[in-house]
Amino acid sequence: MKSSILLVLSVVLLAGCDTLPKRDPDFAPVQPSALRPPEQNNGAIYQGGYDMRLFEDHAARRVGDIVTVTLIERTNAKKNADLGTSKDTSISVEAPYLLGMSPATVLGQDVKTEIATAQSFDGKGDAQQSNQLTGNISVTVVEVLPNGNLRVRGEKRVTLNDGNEYVRLSGIVRPIDIDVANTIPSSKVADATIMYTGDGAVADSNKMGWIARFFNSPFFPF
């Protein structure tokens, strides 16, 4: 019995030591394609097809090249709603004549029915949200599209004392938007997916418990 307990504790401790998370395959880098064709012995000093760029900049343009994306994301949203409605209804119905005689003659008093209803509604709503993300992340070119645009993706992981921080980015960029320093702002990344997440003790402390999530979910009708 004691040996079984020690074995279970050893497995738990070994699992706790493995704190390095696996990379997300959707943001994993790719291997660069071969830049040189098979060597040809044609008797010349310089072989055709060898990639020697003496008069070009070093901006990313091939699969496997690296480009730095400057994160300058900032969004602000504000919405106000104010709605008020009212409705008043009044209905008055007198009793009809019976055998040519008025109900007042038969009963000695007027017979009348009145219905009155009043409805009102007043609703107000206010929503405000602001987000900002700045920094840099270097990504790799994973595909060169037929029109020359580059599909890029990458991931940055920072391990802290109490957890891990992840910055993930993917999208499509134009080579013309990449400057001489081989950087491009995130505002010029098309179909961009930018994720900033984390895990660990700090991230867990900011999460709502499962019981509280149930009472705040649509499944709880009250």
Measured CA distances, 187 to 175, 198, 208 (Å) = 14, 23, 32
Evaluate whether 209 touches 217 at the Cβ level (below 8 Å): no
Q: How far apart are CA 162 and CA 188, in angstroms?
A: 34
pLDDT band at residue 112 using 50, 70 and 90 as cut-offs: low
Q: How far apart are CA 204 and CA 217, in angstroms?
A: 19
Point out the least confidently predicted range of 50-54, 76-80, 126-130, 190-194: 50-54
State the CB neighbour count (10 A cutoff) for residue 153: 20
Instruction: Report the pLDDT averaged over residues 21-48.
Output: 65
pLDDT digits (tens, 9 = 90+) for 87-105: 888 877 666 666 556 665 5
What's the DSSP call for residue 55?
Answer: S
pLDDT in the model for residue 19? 52
pTM, full prediction: 0.58
pLDDT in the model for residue 126? 84
pLDDT in the model for residue 151? 94
pLDDT digits (tens, 9 = 90+) for 146-186: 999 999 999 988 887 777 888 999 999 999 999 989 999 99
pLDDT in the model for residue 152? 95
What's the DSSP call for residue 98?
Answer: B
Q: Which residue has the higher pLDDT, 121 or 4?
A: 121
Domain residue ranges in the chain: 79-126
Instruction: Report the pLDDT averaged over residues 100-120.
Output: 66
